[in-house]
Amino acid sequence: MLFFSRWKAAAILLTAAIVCLFAVPNFFSENTVRTWPTWAQRHMVLGLDLQGGSSLLLEVDVNSVRKDRLQAIDEDVLRLLRQAHIQFTGRAIKGNGVEVRITRDTDVENALNKLRELSQPLGGVLGSNGQRSVDIVENGGLITLTPSDAAIAERVRQTVDQSIQIVERRVNELGLVEPVVQRQGLSRILVQVPGLQDPQRLIDILGKTAKMDFRMVDVSTTPEQALASHPPADSEILDGEGGAKYVVEKRVLVSGGDLVDAQAGFDQNGQPIVNFRFNSIGARKFAEVTAQNVGKPFAIVLDNKVLSAPVIREAIPGGAGQISGNFTVQSANDLAILLRAGALPAPLTVVEQRTVGPGLGQDSINAGEHAAYVGAALVVVFMLVTYGLFGLFANIAVAVNVAMIFGLLSLLGATLTLPGIAGIVLTVGIAVDSNVLIYERIREEVRAGRTAISAIDAGFTRALATILDSNITTFIAAAVLFYIGTGPVRGFAVTLGIGILTSLFTAFTLTRLIVAYWVRLWRPRTVPI
């Protein structure tokens, strides 16, 4: 137990030294570190609770994804049955499915065959679990098409992927520094912005779907008439600015997806406006539409609200236009950002917000440092008083331990949070436990009549098994905590877990190595503990 080959000793010291060295960049300013080679730049990231900032958890509305899917199926059913000249009645979205009643019994088989086109196997050709995108059930001429849960989940996943891109673009357009946008779970997106103190504008901007399209205003009726009875079948009533109502055709002439640029600006009267430009497809469509409808009003609709409904004075061939609504400078700016970043495929809701101001962050850093110094000092003194020289060995091991924790955290680019600091302080208390176990065992072996060297050897051998067993239980707890925890709590799990690993390392190698060298140099007759 006490013999180390020269190579092994060198490997142990080298490992410890290298891991410790990774902690170095944390002690230099960011500008200094930036001049170093890339591999040396890795450092810990301060959690939002320490550096201040805002963390938002956004959720994709699964119901709206389902509703969109049902609408699409509904339209497909209409198209397919019409193509096949099959007569049907009572086509409607009911609950989680689309129902359609085939009029003639002889057509049912034919209709089912047609509709089965809608049901694709999931997961491509290799998808072997037999799940299909739509479940089709027929009962006495009534066919029900239900999108499967797996298909909805897949759709939600895609929606989140697309949304992440849009969210990223919007956050970047706002000019926020070092934002983090990542998926969390199935239907959520985590947005973290360091330094952001009032996230309200960000929440407003992320909360908008920003689905914009250009449609014609239905002039066959007035909003009052439509409200009194029903709007025409292919039109709907939409709200406008200041309580105004518009009857707008459902047909989308040009969609916001064809926009390539949008900038806030001012019109000749000094009112804020948004200038936009279409891509070539959008420009062509826009030119056609405006040419055909000169003199008629068209509506610019954003998230089912009419922004403005100007009358087309002449054909607009260039693919550029402007939106003038009741804008302030900020709202024009925000709209331009939204249009540039693109529309979200489904609405997002903020389900959790955590914001920490810079004052509290700094206070927490100070408190954490303070506690760490005091805790370390208490433990170091206690160990010296209790175990003398061996206490010093233990303290060296603990110091290396803490340095290695910082090194590993830097290497992983892990986030340091206030509970994370607590985890490190606790690790100091725990790391000495391995030494305590070893030393107490050595004391016992000495009492049992062994010679110094034999007692030390036996002490290590027997204690290490115990150390491994007892640390694994704590490590399991830390692992579970990492899995279920978020944010600061996860930071605690990380430092706790890494602390257990490093203290196992030092107990099994470094402490042993130090003691082995001491034994070799001093050839002790008695053990001073």
Partner 1 sequence: MPVRLLRIVPDDTKFDFMRFRRISFPVSAILSIAAILLYFTHGLNFGIDFVGGTLMEVQTKAGPADLAKMRSTIGGLQLGDFSLQQFGAPNDVLIRISQQPGGDAAQQAAVQKVRNALGDNVEYRRVEVVGPSVSNELLSYGTIGLMLAIGAILIYLWFRFEWQFALGAMIANVHDLVLTVGFMSLTHIDFDLTSIAALLTILGYSLNDTVVIYDRIREMLRRYKRMPMPDLLNASINATLSRSIVTHLTVSLSLLALLLFGGQAIRSFTATMMFGVVLVGTYTSVFIASPILIYLGVGRTRQGGPEEPETAAPPTVPAAPIAPQDPPKPSPPRQRARSRR
Q: Please identify which residue in 14, 388, 413, 522 interacts with partner 1, judged by CB under 8 A.
A: 388
* Residues in 406-425 that interact with partner 1 by CB under 8 A: 418-419, 421-422, 425
Q: Please identify which residue in 378, 517, 520, 522 interacts with partner 1, judged by CB under 8 A.
A: 378
Look at the block and give the residue holding tokens 């704590």: 474
Strand duo 415-416 + 45-46: pairing: parallel
Q: Supply the minimum distance, in Å, between the C-beta of residue 431 and partner 1.
A: 9
Binding-site size for partner 1 (CB under 8 A) equals 93
C-alpha span between 14 and 390 (Å, rounded): 23
Pick between residue 231 and residue 497 the one whose CB is nearest to partner 1. 497
Pick between residue 115 and residue 504 the one whose CB is nearest to partner 1. 504
Q: Please state, in angstroms and as integers, the Cα–Cα distance from residue 264 to each residue in 63, 275, 299, 330, 331, following that order.
A: 34, 6, 19, 9, 9
- Assess 489 for contact with partner 1 (CB under 8 A): yes
Per-residue binding string, partner 1, 325-354, x by CB under 8 A, is ------------------------xxxxxx
Q: Supply the minimum distance, in Å, between the C-beta of residue 233 and partner 1.
A: 33
C-alpha span between 387 and 128 (Å, rounded): 64
Q: Please identify which residue in 152, 430, 442, 504 interacts with partner 1, judged by CB under 8 A.
A: 430
Q: Output the six-digit token pair for 357.
A: 């101001």
Q: Beta strands of 154-258 (E only): which ranges?
A: 180-184, 188-194, 212-216, 235-239, 245-249, 254-255
Pick between residue 279 and residue 330 the one whose CB is nearest to partner 1. 330
Q: Please identify which residue in 478, 498, 507, 510 interacts with partner 1, judged by CB under 8 A.
A: 478
Residue 138: name the closest of 170, 109, 96, 180 by CA: 109
- Assess 359 for contact with partner 1 (CB under 8 A): yes
- Assess 462 for contact with partner 1 (CB under 8 A): yes
Residue 171: name the closest of 322, 54, 262 by CA: 54
- Assess 320 for contact with partner 1 (CB under 8 A): no
- Assess 162 for contact with partner 1 (CB under 8 A): no
- Assess 526 for contact with partner 1 (CB under 8 A): yes
Q: Output the six-digit token pair for 508.
A: 């099994």
| Torsion-angle region of 523 (φ positive above 0: left; ψ -120 to 50: alpha; else: beta) | left
* Residues in 57-76 that interact with partner 1 by CB under 8 A: 57, 59
- Assess 473 for contact with partner 1 (CB under 8 A): yes
Cα 143 to its chain centre, rounded Å, is 40
- Assess 123 for contact with partner 1 (CB under 8 A): no
Of 24-32, 99-107, 240-248, 373-381: span binding partner 1 (CB under 8 A): 373-381
Q: Supply the minimum distance, in Å, between the C-beta of residue 256 and partner 1.
A: 23
- Assess 355 for contact with partner 1 (CB under 8 A): yes
- Assess 49 for contact with partner 1 (CB under 8 A): yes
- Assess 263 for contact with partner 1 (CB under 8 A): no
Q: Please identify which residue in 472, 517, 520, 522 interacts with partner 1, judged by CB under 8 A.
A: 472
- Assess 397 for contact with partner 1 (CB under 8 A): no
Q: Please state, in angstroms and as integers, the Cα–Cα distance from residue 140 to each residue in 107, 109, 115, 144, 417, following that order.
A: 12, 11, 16, 11, 62
Q: Supply the minimum distance, in Å, between the C-beta of residue 29 and partner 1.
A: 25
Strand duo 259-266 + 272-278: pairing: antiparallel
Per-residue binding string, partner 1, 203-222, x by CB under 8 A, is x---x---------------
Q: Output the six-digit token pair for 257.
A: 């997806």
Q: Please identify which residue in 237, 371, 399, 412 interacts with partner 1, judged by CB under 8 A.
A: 371
**What is the residue-wise DSSP string for 277-313?**
EE-HHHHHHHHHHHHHTTTSBEEEEETTEEEE-PBP-
C-alpha span between 445 and 460 (Å, rounded): 10
Strand duo 235-239 + 245-249: pairing: antiparallel
